[in-house]
Amino acid sequence: MATQIENIAWWILLLPLLSAVGITLFTLRFHKLSAQISIAAVSVSFLLSLLLFVALPGSAFSVSASWIHVADLSIDFRLILDPLSKLMLLVVTGVGMLIHIYSYGYLHDDRSLSRYFASLSLFTFSMLGIVLASNFVMMFIFWELVGVSSYLLIGFWYEKASAADACKKAFLTNRVGDFGFILGILVVWAALGSLEFDQLKAVLAAHPGKLGAMAGVGGLLVFCGAMGKSAQFPLHVWLPDAMEGPTPVSALIHAATMVAAGVYMLCRTFFLFQATPAWPEALAFLHGWTALDIIAWIGGATALMAALMAVQQDDIKRILAYSTLSQLGYMVMAVGLSGPSPAMYHLTTHAFFKAMLFLGAGSVIHACHHEQNIWRMGGLFRKMPITSWTFLLGALALCGVQPLSGFYSKDAILAQAMEHSLPLFGLAMGVAGLTTFYMFRLVFVAFFGKERGEQAAHAHESPGIMTWPLRALAFFTVASGVMGIDHFIAGAFAAGGHEAASLSFAEALMAPFAHSPAAAFLGLFATMLGLSAAWACYGAADADPLPQRFGSIAQTMRHRFYFDEMYEEAIRLTHDAIASVADWIDRWLISGLLVRGAHGSFEVFGRFLRLLQSGNLQTYAFLLVAGLLAIIYLSFSH
């Protein structure tokens, strides 16, 4: 067994855990060593993933280890390794590795560097656990672990009140989604009697109606989990605030991994949504809709709203955060339009270019001494050529400009939308235009024009440890569109497991135009429109012209449609009501009657019994003999 190549999957999963444990226990005081351990762990995980991918690209298999085995009780750990998880392994460990390296440059003089790397390793471990999970229970465990480790990372600078609040907000918002998720898991378990993905898939393939009336509800509840992690409306509020964490953390968990977990989970459990749609009596008004329709519209709404909010943000990281929200909306929409494979494709390319954008933003922030307002930057292009070029490349990819990767994956989603739902296609087109508009607002204001701040004037390029990861990501940003990832994913989702014929380079380059020319041309058109609008408004602006022209609309966008305020008020009111009831119960029933009552009576009893233990030897001997007689009496008494 041990010699089989499959078993290296365990190492991929466990190395980051070992690193987290090792750093916490032994090397907390040695920052450099901790960083090296953590980087080495994720790098080896990446190489092993690559080895697994190259050695066994198309095959799907799993490795298992029994954890507890007592008579009839048996609990196994099983890692699933199909094309889907292998691709995701590469994304998580690959992008993760670059971000680990970058982090060391970005945070090299932080006094808690070891704690940072320990949390980062723990996060990587949890994320890999989600990717490799073979059943809902395991996935949920790692799901929560991701929640915990992201809490640690977002709140890394816990001395800052805003960071401490942000990590709490992220964790609690996620918990709301997770509550739905676990209910969904219970629904599935109750209806199908299993939680193993393979078995569920087989059962549903044979009897699509087996979920019965709970098909829609179960699907939506499971989707709740994705809604939390992937920050979909209405649980999107945590992600922008989570930008309080260090920038590499934003790159890792808010671009490439954690937020992608929701989409990945939807793709992994896509078979659930293919069950015969049905609703219970109480939800009869939903007839005619499927869970997927609702998911698609939630995704679309998120994409549009986030894009609108992004237009009026001034913080470089927040703009990227809203654009992440918007792109995640795209992916969720694609899943909702029965297109898990475009969703996974966009997830993969997005992981590359968004991580690069975040790291680029980090480089800018680093150079400007932690200035994050784009209106106090400007003219960075000449001072930071590598950062600026890669950032520009990332922005173009995000906008969907051919031949960058973003064009191909976004086009796949647009084509999917065009095929299934024209209203959503229109919406997606609008979002594409808005995306270009706000991204180039950012690029024009921050990188071109004249310096508008003291810090920006003295900016200079970041060190090589930070720019090299940028270059590596830039390569993938350019290349991942034509590497055949889409075919690989399509093969993974195809029923018979057959792989689509591979295309030549030139064919791959122009594939979108051949496949769905209308979507491709309209997408490029929207991009051009957004670009020219951005040029018109911000080409040479020193202040934002929109608030004057649109007044209250711009104001509403700037305040993110007042979602946070609304939630805060609603939570405050319900909190106060629930808290006063809970306080009463806790004070009088639990603490008073149960705890104090039980504790008090046991205490009195214990004190009484202690009198028996007098220390007097004669008493002891007497008790012993009396006890013996009692035992003999008891055993002969029946």
Stretch that binds other proteins, among 61-69, 134-142, 320-328, 373-381 (CB under 8 A): 61-69
Task: Based on the shown chain and the rule CB under 8 A, indicate whether residue 69 belongs to the binding site for other proteins.
Answer: yes
Question: Please, what is the minimum distance in Å from the beta carbon of residue 2 to other proteins?
Answer: 17
Out of 68, 161, 206, 501, the only residue in the binding site for other proteins (CB under 8 A) is 68
For other proteins, which is the closer residue by CB, 525 or 622?
A: 622
Question: Please, what is the minimum distance in Å from the beta carbon of residue 630 to other proteins?
Answer: 7
Out of 2, 70, 161, 206, the only residue in the binding site for other proteins (CB under 8 A) is 70
For other proteins, which is the closer residue by CB, 76 or 314?
A: 76
Question: Please, what is the minimum distance in Å from the beta carbon of residue 130 to other proteins?
Answer: 21
For other proteins, which is the closer residue by CB, 496 or 615?
A: 615
For other proteins, which is the closer residue by CB, 69 or 572?
A: 69
For residues 160-198, one letter each, b for 16 or more C-beta atoms within 10 angstroms of the residue's C-beta and e for the rest, the string is: eeebeebbebbbebbeebbebbbbbbebbeebbeebbbe
Q: What is the DSSP string of 84-123?
A: HHHHHHHHHHHHHHHHHHHHHHHTTT-TTHHHHHHHHHHH
For other proteins, which is the closer residue by CB, 206 or 624?
A: 624
Question: Please, what is the minimum distance in Å from the beta carbon of residue 181 to other proteins?
Answer: 22
Residue 400 φ/ψ region, left for φ over 0, alpha for ψ in the -120 to 50 degree band, beta for the rest: left
- At residue 576, what is the residue type? D
Contact 406, 278 (CB under 8 A): no
For other proteins, which is the closer residue by CB, 65 or 571?
A: 65
Task: Based on the shown chain and the rule CB under 8 A, indicate whether residue 71 belongs to the binding site for other proteins.
Answer: yes
Out of 1, 4, 67, 495, the only residue in the binding site for other proteins (CB under 8 A) is 67
Task: Based on the shown chain and the rule CB under 8 A, indicate whether residue 577 belongs to the binding site for other proteins.
Answer: no
Q: Which of residues 613-632 bind other proteins (CB under 8 A)?
A: 613, 615, 617, 620-621, 623-628, 630-632
For other proteins, which is the closer residue by CB, 568 or 603?
A: 603
Question: Please, what is the minimum distance in Å from the beta carbon of residue 514 to other proteins?
Answer: 55
For other proteins, which is the closer residue by CB, 51 or 630?
A: 630
Burial of 22 (C-beta count, 10 Å sphere; 0-12/13-18/19+): middle
Question: Please, what is the minimum distance in Å from the beta carbon of residue 598 to other proteins?
Answer: 8
How far, in Å, CA of 483 to CA of 356, rounded? 19
- DSSP annotation of 315 reads B
For other proteins, which is the closer residue by CB, 506 or 609?
A: 609
How far, in Å, CA of 447 to CA of 457, rounded? 12
Q: Which residue has the tokens 């319900």?
A: 574
For other proteins, which is the closer residue by CB, 566 or 628?
A: 628
How far, in Å, CA of 424 to CA of 273, rounded? 19
Question: Please, what is the minimum distance in Å from the beta carbon of residue 63 to other proteins?
Answer: 17
Q: Considering CB under 8 A, how many residues would be counted as binding other proteins? A: 33
For other proteins, which is the closer residue by CB, 580 or 613?
A: 613
Task: Based on the shown chain and the rule CB under 8 A, indicate whether residue 583 belongs to the binding site for other proteins.
Answer: no
- Residue 272: closest CA among 331, 227, 335, 230: 335
Stretch that binds other proteins, among 14-22, 368-376, 563-571, 612-620 (CB under 8 A): 612-620
Q: Which of residues 112-131 bind other proteins (CB under 8 A)?
A: none
Question: Please, what is the minimum distance in Å from the beta carbon of residue 127 to other proteins?
Answer: 22
Q: What is the DSSP string of 501-521?
A: PP--HHHHHHHHHHH-HHHHH
Question: Please, what is the minimum distance in Å from the beta carbon of residue 603 to other proteins?
Answer: 6
Question: Please, what is the minimum distance in Å from the beta carbon of residue 28 to other proteins?
Answer: 11
Q: What is the DSSP string of 227-288?
A: HHHTT-TTSTTHHHHGGGS-HHHHHIIIIISHHHHHHHHHHHTHHHHTSPP---GGGGGGTT
Question: Please, what is the minimum distance in Å from the beta carbon of residue 79 to other proteins?
Answer: 17
- Residue 184: closest CA among 211, 148, 207, 145: 211
For other proteins, which is the closer residue by CB, 581 or 621?
A: 621
**Cα(first)–Cα(last) distance of the chain, in Å?**
58
Neighbours of 451 (CB within 10 A): 16
Q: Which of residues 591-610 bind other proteins (CB under 8 A)?
A: 598-599, 602-603, 605-607, 609-610
- DSSP annotation of 82 reads S
Q: Which of residues 1-40 bind other proteins (CB under 8 A)?
A: none
Own/partner pairs, 105-108, CB within 8 angstroms, 24+ separation? 105/462, 105/463, 105/465, 105/466, 106/246, 106/247, 106/248, 106/362, 106/366, 106/466, 107/246, 107/248
How far, in Å, CA of 331 to CA of 334, rounded? 5
Binding region for other proteins (CB under 8 A): 66-71, 598-599, 602-603, 605-607, 609-610, 613, 615, 617, 620-621, 623-628, 630-632, 634-636, 638
